[in-house]
Amino acid sequence: MKKTVLSIMLVFFTAVIGLSSCADAAVKRYRVVVVKEYPHDEGSYTQGLFFDGGRLYESTGQKGESKFREVDINSGKPVRNLDFAKKYFAEGSVMFGGELFILTWTSRVAFVYDAATLKFKQAYRYPREGWGITTDGRQLIASDGSSKLFFMDSKFNVKKTVVVKLDGKSVQYLNELEYIDGKIWANVYTSDMIVIINPDDGRVEATVDCTGLLPEKLRDDRTDVLNGIAYNPETKKTYLTGKYWKRLYEIKLEEIK
Residues 3-58 have pLDDT tens digits of 444 343 334 333 433 433 344 479 999 999 999 999 999 999 999 999 999 999 99
Closest CA to 66 of 96, 113, 104, 39: 104
Number of neighbours of residue 28 by Cβ within 10 angstroms: 13
User: Would you state the pLDDT for residue 257?
Assistant: 85
Residues 84-131 have pLDDT tens digits of 999 999 999 999 999 999 999 999 999 999 999 999 999 999 999 999
CATH code of domain 28-255: 2.120.10.30
User: Would you state the pLDDT for residue 242?
Assistant: 97
User: Would you state the pLDDT for residue 137?
Assistant: 96
pTM recorded for the entire structure:
0.88
For CA atoms 192, 244, 214, 254, give the dihedral sign: positive
